[in-house]
């Protein structure tokens, strides 16, 4: 385990962009819960980072679909960036890979696909594949956006004014 504080699952991945304030304001997810089981990957990542030091810096190579085993096509179509994802009860105890476990932890309260991508630090397309896998295994439920009726529009307008 590297102690320099910059731990990425893989040196080629895009750095995680979540911010501190996220933890304070929105969901109470204990980050340490899913740090342990990613430990092995971190070590692997850091080893290769040592070999590739001269390549790091401005020209970081990103191969985003490494976490999906190269699959770019989700098993479930129609996942929009604002589709809300919420973990099912069984998901919280299921044996899952590192990224999927992270997703399930974040989705104890409904969050959008875009938030998932930002929070676990992967591009949208990768998050789509990962979430679709979870959905196929009945580990998350999806709340896909629907047409908004007029009375809901009026409510949204009034709620925005009252913010």
Partner 1 sequence: MSGHSDYPDRYSSGYPSAIKIVISGGFGVGKTTFIGSISEIEPLTTEAAMTERSIGVDDASLLDSKHTTTVALDFGRITLDPTLILYLFGTPGQDRFDFLWDDLTDGALGAVIVADTRRIEDCYPVLDYFEAHGTPFLVAVNTFDGADVFDLEEVREALGVNPSVPVLYCDARQRESVKEILAALIEQVLLQRQAGSFA
Using CB under 8 A as the criterion, which residues of the chain lie in contact with partner 1 when the complex forms?
14, 17-19, 21-22, 25-26, 59, 61-65, 70-73, 78, 80-84, 110, 112, 114-115, 117-119, 123-127, 135, 141-146, 148-150, 152-157, 159-161, 163
Rounded to a whole number of angstroms, the minimum distance from the CB of residue 38 to partner 1 is 20
Q: Which is nearer to partner 1, 31 or 43 (CB)?
A: 31
Q: Which is nearer to partner 1, 2 or 112 (CB)?
A: 112
88: left (phi over 0), alpha (psi -120 to 50) or beta: beta
The DSSP symbol for 62 reads -
**C-alpha distances in Å from residue 114, one per residue of 47, 75, 85, 130:** 31, 18, 10, 13
Q: Which of 74, 146, 156, 80 is nearest to 115 (CA)?
A: 80
Rounded to a whole number of angstroms, the minimum distance from the CB of residue 3 to partner 1 is 27
Rounded to a whole number of angstroms, the minimum distance from the CB of residue 45 to partner 1 is 18
* Token code pair at residue 119: 């929070």
């Amino acid at each position: 385990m590297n102690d320099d504080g910059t731990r990425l699952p893989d040196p080629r991945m895009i750095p995680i962009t979540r911010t501190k304030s996220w933890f304070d304001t929105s969901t109470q997810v204990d980050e340490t819960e899913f740090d342990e089981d990613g430990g092995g990957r971190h070590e692997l990542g850091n080893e290769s980072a040592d070999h590739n030091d001269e390549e790091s810096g401005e020209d970081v190579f990103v191969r985003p679909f490494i976490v999906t085993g190269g699959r770019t096509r989700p098993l479930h179509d129609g996942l929009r960036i604002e589709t809300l994802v919420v973990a099912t009860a069984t998901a919280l105890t299921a044996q899952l890979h590192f990224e999927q476990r992270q997703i399930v932890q974040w989705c104890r309260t409904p969050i959008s696909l875009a938030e998932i991508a930002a929070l676990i630090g992967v591009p949208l397309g990768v998050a789509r594949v990962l979430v679709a896998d979870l959905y196929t295994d009945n580990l998350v439920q999806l709340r896909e956006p629907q047409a908004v009726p007029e009375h809901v529009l009026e409510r949204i307008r009034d709620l925005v004014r009252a913010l």
